[in-house]
């Protein structure tokens, strides 16, 4: 187990290094640089030139990258080319909203998806199974922004029950701000997650040990909780790790629609203003988070159902 | 639900979504108040105003401003010596009056009895310090550096605490208007920390979070009469979030709204649209130094083949007026007596035939950099086809479009916000202008403009400017097809909002509004 984790950690470092190079190269390939992005027809080209020199953007790309890498290795994510403040500040200021949003979504979607998955799995191809499948499939098929616009139109603008945006809102004072964004993200993730649990349940129910346990007269509830669920959970947990990625894509849309000042908003901002250190810093943090989540999911699966081949 | 979600409301929202982001169109002319008879002004309350955000680009430093949201924030806290009236003519602000010598080189400004938020009086030293800070060559992002390039600070001086004399290295009768430009705010002598704003404006700084919000409170000792509202929040959000916020009661003022949203909003009761008529300019710009537009006949042919009314109807959803190939309709110095250019396909065809362009292909360079750019380019291509020229639409990167267009392509999109006409000419139409997007390079135009700009007699200056503008309209590379309205959405309880062009004194005057 320990050597497996170590192996994964080494792989993770290689992945991060490759990712950093990729992100740097791709952002550098975008037309324009941070100095030009300040060119809003208010700054004369001559001023832009001076700014470029001041920001060090006239240095060769390789030099800029090695400098950045050197800083990162000493724990310094660098300085934003646009705001002039430390990148860590931008990470810190934007991560909160996204984490709260993600955790709130998971808190809703995980129990519900597991419950739905088990209900569907134990009634394979029954009427209820098909009904739940249709609804969750429809939710995942409709684009987020459509769901979001519909929800806002009905619950905010027409009925006036829920706030339409986070503008001027304070999450601590009004947690109700979370309702609509979480509802949209729920629609995006519930289908896949519940289908994985459903599949796991069906497989587990057909497994010999379950059939045997049933023959031996193990009560249904005990059978489900003690024997079926841990096995059914494996694809679910792995899917959950992938849900993280899916959520991030959805968070971007949701953050834009509800004006949530989160991670995705900061990232889009960084790309649009060619603020390379910010883009680099944010993707690095994001990649580390994704790696940790995936690693955690693998290790958790191993605990749920120990698989010897992984332990070698 | 059928009632809850009528088709129109939904389409409006979707439209808002599609037009999200994007740069704000700026500018307008036309004035007047917002139409409804307002009740007696009331005291107190919190006003939340939402503008298009700029993320980490947003700044507190008034000398670095370029976004509307920054300008609005700085305006609440800081002031300039001079401001612009609804016709873009300079009006006194922190300077209560001014006079110049006969050469328009030495200018004397008499300061108002104003007090900074820290309790100190405004003095001549503050003015001199502010201009020194703006023109500091070590800091390239202070936006007014190029407009104040002729201000000679070594020869400028404080005559007494309330009189300051500014001397120019080249005469300029438009100097007061230059002092009303962006990034010219007066700060305290010794001001070095922009994160702790101290100005003379109607609101005192409380907090700022770039890309999100600024909070300010009413300044009780404001020289122009304290604001009626107690607290001002200036927030950032893109177009559809602004629409939702103002409709959902989370904001009372939403800047720069789309025509689609205006139609939806006007069908309801919660939101009112304040429209500054024909306040910005949408144009196609042709490069006068490149084929085929180096031929004046071709430029004229394009001006004649454009169906302006249709462009306004389709691209601006009818919310605007047709343009007449000149910037600044309704502003000081605009030659009002020029006839409106009409579509004349036959004449256009004849000119194109003469230039040998019939059935030839020309590329039009556009980008989704501002609302309506790609749409208008596409529509112009259809109209050009009717005159026998094929316009091929190529799309560039939205973020770098403004800069790219200076060097790329032969014809493209251009928009402009409100600014005084001489400033527009200085920035875009002289051989050495930094933003000469039409490549209008005429030494005789440059010298005629320079000669007009030193005339201290306003009528004489105006007459000269008029002639120059006539030349531009007939020979220049600007095909100004539309003058969009500038749209602001306000909640039903917000009163006192003026319908005036952006960048003018009475736009976003949150010290004059009240919540009914």
Pairing of strands B390-395, B361-366: parallel
Backbone φ and ψ of A279, nearest 5°: -60, -45
Q: Please state the pTM of the whole predicted model.
A: 0.82
Burial class (CB in 10 A: 0-12, 13-18, 19+), A309: exposed
Tell me whether the CATH fold assigned to B203-277+486-515 matches the one assigned to B281-484: no
Residues of A whose CB is below 8 A from B250: 163-165, 167-169
- CB distance A153–B13 less than 8 Å? yes
Answer whether residue A135 is part of any domain: yes
Average of per-residue pLDDT values in chain B: 90
> Do residues B481 and B323 make contact, with C-beta atoms less than 8 angstroms apart?
yes
Residues of A whose CB is below 8 A from B242: 167
Evaluate if residue B38 carries a pLDDT over 60.
no
User: Any idea where the domains of chain B sit in the sequence?
Assistant: 203-277+486-515, 281-484
Between residues 106 and 165 of chain B, which touch chain A (CB distance below 8 Å)?
140-141, 143, 145-146
Question: CATH 3.10.105.10: does it fit domain B281-484?
Answer: yes
Evaluate if residue B87 carries a pLDDT over 50.
yes
**Token duo for residue A276:** 């390379």
Alpha carbon distance A209, A228 (integer Å): 10
Burial A82-97 (b: 16+ CB within 10 A, else e): bbeebbeebbebbbeb
Span B134-178, pLDDT tens digits: 999 898 889 999 899 999 999 999 999 999 999 999 999 999 999
When pLDDT is cut at 50, 70 and 90, the band that residue B9 belongs to is very low
Of B17, B141, B427, nearest to A38 by CB-CB distance is: B141
Number of domains in chain A: 1
Evaluate if residue B304 carries a pLDDT over 50.
yes
Evaluate if residue B276 carries a pLDDT over 90.
yes
When pLDDT is cut at 50, 70 and 90, the band that residue B28 belongs to is very low
Span B449-494, pLDDT tens digits: 999 999 999 999 999 999 999 999 999 999 999 999 999 999 999 9
Between residues 116 and 175 of chain A, which touch chain B (CB distance below 8 Å)?
145, 149-150, 152-154, 156-160, 163-165, 167-169
Of B237, B240, B435, nearest to A41 by CB-CB distance is: B435
What's the average model confidence in pLDDT over A216-230?
80
Evaluate if residue A3 carries a pLDDT over 80.
no
Residues of A whose CB is below 8 A from B503: none
Higher pLDDT, B54 or B463: B463
Backbone φ and ψ of B81, nearest 5°: -65, -40
Alpha carbon distance B101, B41 (integer Å): 43
Containing structural domain, residue A264? 90-275
When pLDDT is cut at 50, 70 and 90, the band that residue B47 belongs to is very high
What's the average model confidence in pLDDT over B39-68?
89
Select, from the ranges A158-162, A207-211, A243-247, B220-224, the one with the highest average predicted confidence (pLDDT): B220-224
In the sheet with B478-484, reading across from the earlier edge strand, the strands are B320-322, B478-484, B281-286, B411-416, B361-366, B390-395
Of A164, A169, A273, nearest to B57 by CB-CB distance is: A273
> Do residues A254 and A144 make contact, with C-beta atoms less than 8 angstroms apart?
yes
ipTM: 0.73
pLDDT of residue B16: 34
When pLDDT is cut at 50, 70 and 90, the band that residue A11 belongs to is confident
pLDDT of residue B22: 34
When pLDDT is cut at 50, 70 and 90, the band that residue B118 belongs to is very high
Q: What is the CATH number of the domain that holds A185?
A: 1.10.3720.10
pLDDT of residue B508: 92
Of B66, B238, B248, nearest to A256 by CB-CB distance is: B238
Answer whether residue A82 is part of any domain: no
Distance between B490 CA and the closest CA of chain A, angstroms? 15
CB neighbourhood size of B464 (10 A): 17
Answer whether residue A34 is part of any domain: no
Listed in sequence order, the DSSP H helices in A123-178 are 127-141, 144-151
Could you tell me how far CA B26 lies from the centroid of its own chain?
Answer: 4
What's the average model confidence in pLDDT over B420-440?
94
Alpha carbon distance B344, B434 (integer Å): 34
Alpha carbon distance B374, B370 (integer Å): 9
Of A42, A157, A159, nearest to B143 by CB-CB distance is: A42
Between residues 59 and 118 of chain A, which touch chain B (CB distance below 8 Å)?
80, 82-83, 90, 93
Backbone φ and ψ of B203, nearest 5°: -130, 145
We find that the CATH architecture of domain B203-277+486-515 is 3-Layer(aba) Sandwich (3.40)
Answer whether residue A26 is part of any domain: no
- The residue in chain B having the minimum alpha-carbon distance to the alpha carbon of residue A263 is B55
Alpha carbon distance A90, A70 (integer Å): 20
When pLDDT is cut at 50, 70 and 90, the band that residue A80 belongs to is confident
Least trusted range by pLDDT, from A213-222, B278-287, B501-510: A213-222
Answer whether residue A106 is part of any domain: yes
């Amino acid at each position: 187990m320990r050597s497996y984790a170590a192996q994964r950690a080494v792989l993770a470092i290689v992945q991060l290094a490759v990712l950093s190079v990729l992100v740097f190269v791709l952002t550098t390939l975008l037309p324009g640089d941070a100095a030009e992005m300040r060119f809003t027809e208010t700054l004369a080209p001559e001023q832009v030139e001076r700014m470029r020199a001041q920001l060090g953007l006239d240095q060769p790309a390789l030099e800029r990258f090695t400098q950045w890498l050197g800083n990162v290795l000493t724990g310094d994510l660098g300085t934003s080319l646009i705001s002039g403040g430390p990148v860590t500040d931008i990470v810190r200021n934007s991560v909160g909203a996204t984490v709260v949003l993600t955790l709130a979504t998971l808190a809703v979607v995980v129990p519900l998806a597991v419950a739905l998955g088990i209900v569907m799995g134990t009634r394979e191809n029954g009427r209820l199974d098909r009904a739940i499948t249709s609804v969750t499939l429809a939710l995942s098929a409709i684009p987020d922004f459509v769901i979001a616009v519909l929800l806002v139109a009905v619950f905010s603008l027409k009925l006036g029950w829920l706030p339409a945006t986070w503008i001027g809102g304070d999450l601590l004072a009004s947690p109700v701000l979370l309702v609509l964004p979480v509802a949209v993200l729920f629609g995006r993730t519930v289908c896949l997650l519940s289908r994985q649990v459903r599949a796991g349940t069906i497989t587990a129910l057909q497994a010999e040990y379950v059939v045997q346990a049933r023959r031996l007269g193990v009560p249904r509830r005990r059978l489900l909780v003690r024997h079926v669920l841990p096995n059914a959970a494996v694809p679910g947990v792995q899917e959950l790790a992938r849900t993280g990625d899916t959520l991030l894509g959805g968070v971007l849309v949701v953050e834009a629609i509800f004006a949530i000042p989160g991670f995705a908003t900061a990232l889009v901002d960084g790309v649009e203003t060619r603020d390379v250190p910010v883009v680099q810093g944010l993707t690095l943090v994001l990649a580390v988070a994704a790696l940790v989540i995936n690693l955690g999911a693998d290790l958790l699966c191993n605990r749920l159902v120990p698989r010897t081949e992984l332990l070698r | 639900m059928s009632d809850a979600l009528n088709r129109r409301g939904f389409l409006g929202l979707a439209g808002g979504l599609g037009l999200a982001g994007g740069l704000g169109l700026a500018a307008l002319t036309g004035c007047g108040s917002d139409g409804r008879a307002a009740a007696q002004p009331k005291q107190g309350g919190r006003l939340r105003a939402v503008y298009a955000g700029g993320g980490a680009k947003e700044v507190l430093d008034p000398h670095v401003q370029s976004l509307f949201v920054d300008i609005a924030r700085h305006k609440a806290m800081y002031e300039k010596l001079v401001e612009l009236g609804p016709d873009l003519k300079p009006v006194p602000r922190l300077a209560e009056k001014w006079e110049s010598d006969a050469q328009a080189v030495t200018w004397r400004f008499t300061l108002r009895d104003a007090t900074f938020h820290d309790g100190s009086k405004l003095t001549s030293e503050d003015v001199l310090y502010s201009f020194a800070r703006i023109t500091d060559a070590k800091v390239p992002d202070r936006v007014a550096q190029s407009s104040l390039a002729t201000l000679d600070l070594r020869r400028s001086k404080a005559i007494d605490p309330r009189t300051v004399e500014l001397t120019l290295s080249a005469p300029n009768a438009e100097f007061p208007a230059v002092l009303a430009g962006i990034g010219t705010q007066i700060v305290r002598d010794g001001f070095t920390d922009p994160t702790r704003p101290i100005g003379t404006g109607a609101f005192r700084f409380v907090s700022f979070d770039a890309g999100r919000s600024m909070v300010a409170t009413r300044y009780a000792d404001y020289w122009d009469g304290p604001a009626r509202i107690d607290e001002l929040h200036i927030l950032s959000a893109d177009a559809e979030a602004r629409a939702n916020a103002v409709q959902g009661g989370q904001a009372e003022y939403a800047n720069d709204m789309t025509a689609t949203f205006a139609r939806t909003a006007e069908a309801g009761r919660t939101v009112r649209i304040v429209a500054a008529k024909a306040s910005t300019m949408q144009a196609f710009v042709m490069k006068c130094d490149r084929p085929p537009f180096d031929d004046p006949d071709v430029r004229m042919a394009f001006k004649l083949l454009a169906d302006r009314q249709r462009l306004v109807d389709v691209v601006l959803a009818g919310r605007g007026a047709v343009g007449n190939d000149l910037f600044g309709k309704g502003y000081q110095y605009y030659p009002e007596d020029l006839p409106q250019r009409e579509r004349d396909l036959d004449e256009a065809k004849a000119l194109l035939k003469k230039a040998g362009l019939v059935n030839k292909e020309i590329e039009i360079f556009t980008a989704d950099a501002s609302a309506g750019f790609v749409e208008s380019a596409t529509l112009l291509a259809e109209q050009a086809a009717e005159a026998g020229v094929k316009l091929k639409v190529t799309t560039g990167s939205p973020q770098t479009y403004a800069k790219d267009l200076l060097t790329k392509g032969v014809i493209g999109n251009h928009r402009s916000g409100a600014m005084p006409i001489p400033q527009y000419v200085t920035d875009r139409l002289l051989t050495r202008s930094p933003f000469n997007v039409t490549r209008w390079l005429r030494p005789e135009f440059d010298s005629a403009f320079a000669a007009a700009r030193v005339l201290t007699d306003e009528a004489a200056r105006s007459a000269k400017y008029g002639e120059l503008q006539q030349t531009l309209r007939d020979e220049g590379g600007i095909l100004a097809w539309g003058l969009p309205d500038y749209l602001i959405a306000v909640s039903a309880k917000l009163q006192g909002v003026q319908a005036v062009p952006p960048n003018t004194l009475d736009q976003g005057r949150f010290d004059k509004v009240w919540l009914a």
